[in-house]
Structure 1
Amino acid sequence: MDVRFGMDMRLWGDSAGVAQLPVLETLAGLGYQGVEIPVGGQGESALKLLRVALDDLDLAVNASACLPPEANPIAADARVRRRALDTLKTRLDEAALLGAKLLVGGFFQARGCFSGQPATDREWEWSRHCLGAAADHAASLGITLALEFQSRYDAYLINTAAAAARMCRDVGRDNLGVTYNTFHAHLEELNPAQALPSAGDRLLHVRVSESNRGTLGRGQVQWQETFATLEFLDYSGWIVVQALGTGQAPPHPDNIWRDGFESREALCEGAIVMLQELVRRQRP
């Protein structure tokens, strides 16, 4: 298992920038090899400055994004669907400015938008069309899209690794794959040994997040089983720590109303130690 460890910068808010340079320096010192930066309108100059800072610290970068209700790929209103594609293209352009080669997120639909009914074939086709066009734009920028399935509390179109892999196959683009998130999987899958293989050769990115979005190893996620399965699959790629906390103005987009950790610094330090040990245990 050839992996690199990264940190999702949303732990410090949804507007990462050069103001977080001390955090980036700390992460590099702890042994993280990269970070995941949320893109969402920071501006060209801010993204370019952040890219320079990351290069100086020798930190690789992935980008992440989500779609708001007014830009929903599966909305009944065609204007909203067009806005979703335009928004995704803008997020991809921002990721390119940052120097990212991977854009991660559950952008098959807008987060937190529900019809009140099970997903329909028509909604699936709307999402497939949007993702195909977005993947084509991403390819022109040298970027791969990593589609993250979401729990039922965030979305209803794609809730499992198998469904995400099916969407990737239906879209039919080489630069579209699956992100496996242990938080969402804990809520929606039976166990990692079944869920991870169901992504098949489309698995290209892993987010490790505890069942309460807090300190890794203090919740209910099946860590040993997850890493044993990743080893069995000979997974090669990013393993990105994702923890979320309070401190943003309400309403919090991820419904985080209490911190599941003593401090962000302690969480980051403990996470990479735990992950390194989990990987080490898989080696003969």
Structure 2
Amino acid sequence: MNKLGVHALVWAGDLTPESTRKVLSSTKEAGFDLAELSLHGPKLMDLSLTRDLLQEYGLEVGCSRGLTFAADVSSEDAATVARGVAMLEEAITITSEIGGKYFGGILYGAMAKYSAPVTKKGRQNAIDSIKHIADFALKKDVKLGLEVVNRYESNLLNTASQALALIDEVGAPNVGVHLDTYHMNIEESDFMQPVLLCGDRLAYVHIGESNRGYLGSGTIDFSQFFHALAMVDYKGVVTFESFSSTVVNEELSNALAIWRNLWDDGMDLAKHAREFMAGGINAAAKAKAHH
């Protein structure tokens, strides 16, 4: 069975000590194995407290973030690229210091709607930056996942095949693909081919509904996706991600266009998601065994 995770924004919009305790105790109470912490505004974090709480609740941790236009490694401007690299190094250091082994997200550019395609030089800057941070992360035993997101959040990686091509050029052993069903639903032709294409280079998975609300309340074909994970024998983490205007992160919520309230009760949402994911993964595994 895969380890199941839940994104911290189901519980709280920041990582102050009080919020961190809420995030981790709630993650445990809802039955998850891992908490994914979004490092947007990491200055609030108390790293030793976070590490202690993770141990107290017996949880694993993964971290994620996206970059901004002011710190965009796919920019043509060297100073902007350098700011992006520094931001990623800080995030990898935080991940490592709290005992995490995985850092993913939009590590290759700004999490934003671009007004033009990526330039050749910008793409090369992104590749060089990822090479650099992959080396930095390897020394800290952290694996990186390049999250494939929709056209309104990146102009560089919108499909699994684009991500795999970029990773080929990076050529680092600790960089893989991070697939998210919410984004796949917008950009991919189905939920099977991208997973099969990634194979053992699939590093991490986000489960999100088409409207980012309750799983099963939208249009995503989760059955097909879970079958694909079983077919490639994916052993990694499967993390639930959902956003509502009920829980707001100043940097992240507006960037993700969370304008509507899709739920009020994070615990009900998360417990439902855990059952839904575990059920789907188990059903696909049994189908594969009897195939």
TM-score scaled by length of structure 1: 0.94
What is the DSSP-based 3-state SS (H/G/I as helix, E as strand, rest coil) of the residue aligned with 2:213?
Answer: coil
After TM superposition, the structure 1 stretch with the greater mean CA deviation from structure 2, 20-29 or 88-97, is: 20-29
Query: One-letter code of the match for 1:274?
Result: F
Map 1:72-151 to 2 at 5 A: 72-114=72-114, 116-151=115-150
Could you tell me how far 1:195 is from its partner in structure 2? 1.5
Unaligned runs of at least 5 residues, structure 1: none
Paired with 1:164 and 1:13, the residues of 2 have a C-alpha distance of 30
- The residue aligned with 2:163 is 164
- The residue aligned with 1:10 is 9
Structure 1 stretches of at least 4 aligned residues deviating more than 4 Å after TM superposition? none
Could you tell me how far 1:43 is from its partner in structure 2? 4.2
Map 1:1-284 to 2 at 5 A: 2-20=1-19, 21-43=21-43, 46-114=46-114, 116-246=115-245, 247-248=247-248, 249=250, 252-282=254-284, 283=286, 284=289
Could you tell me how far 1:261 is from its partner in structure 2? 2.4
Paired with 2:264 and 2:81, the residues of 1 have a C-alpha distance of 41
CA gap of 1:44–1:92, structure 2 versus 1, over 3 A, is farther
Contact 1:17 1:47 in 2 (8 A): no
Query: One-letter code of the match for 1:205?
Result: Y
TM-score scaled by length of structure 2: 0.91
After TM superposition, the structure 1 stretch with the greater mean CA deviation from structure 2, 91-100 or 127-136, is: 91-100
Could you tell me how far 1:158 is from its partner in structure 2? 0.7
Query: One-letter code of the match for 2:198?
Result: A
Query: One-letter code of the match for 2:108?
Result: F
Contact 1:18 1:53 in 2 (8 A): no
Contact 2:16 2:45 in 1 (8 A): no
Could you tell me how far 1:95 is from its partner in structure 2? 1.2
CA gap of 1:189–1:74, structure 2 versus 1, over 3 A, is same
Paired with 1:43 and 1:110, the residues of 2 have a C-alpha distance of 20
Could you tell me how far 1:76 is from its partner in structure 2? 2.1
Paired with 1:140 and 1:228, the residues of 2 have a C-alpha distance of 35
Query: One-letter code of the match for 1:141?
Result: K
Could you tell me how far 1:280 is from its partner in structure 2? 1.9
Could you tell me how far 1:123 is from its partner in structure 2? 2.1
CA gap of 1:44–1:270, structure 2 versus 1, over 3 A, is closer
Query: One-letter code of the match for 2:221?
Result: Q
Paired with 1:143 and 1:13, the residues of 2 have a C-alpha distance of 25
CA gap of 1:111–1:26, structure 2 versus 1, over 3 A, is closer
Paired with 2:98 and 2:170, the residues of 1 have a C-alpha distance of 26
Could you tell me how far 1:44 is from its partner in structure 2? 8.5
Could you tell me how far 1:207 is from its partner in structure 2? 0.5
Could you tell me how far 1:11 is from its partner in structure 2? 2.5
Paired with 2:167 and 2:78, the residues of 1 have a C-alpha distance of 22
Contact 2:15 2:45 in 1 (8 A): no
Could you tell me how far 1:215 is from its partner in structure 2? 0.7
What is the DSSP-based 3-state SS (H/G/I as helix, E as strand, rest coil) of the residue aligned with 2:67?
Answer: coil
Paired with 1:77 and 1:23, the residues of 2 have a C-alpha distance of 37
What is the DSSP-based 3-state SS (H/G/I as helix, E as strand, rest coil) of the residue aligned with 1:261?
Answer: coil
Could you tell me how far 1:117 is from its partner in structure 2? 2.9
Q: Deviations over 1:72-123 (max 9, x none)?
A: 0111211101111111111111111221110010111011151x33333322
Paired with 1:259 and 1:272, the residues of 2 have a C-alpha distance of 21
Query: One-letter code of the match for 1:11?
Result: V
Identical-pair percentage: 26
Contact 1:3 1:237 in 2 (8 A): yes
CA gap of 1:25–1:183, structure 2 versus 1, over 3 A, is same
How many aligned positions are there? 282
Paired with 2:41 and 2:27, the residues of 1 have a C-alpha distance of 24
CA gap of 1:47–1:40, structure 2 versus 1, over 3 A, is farther
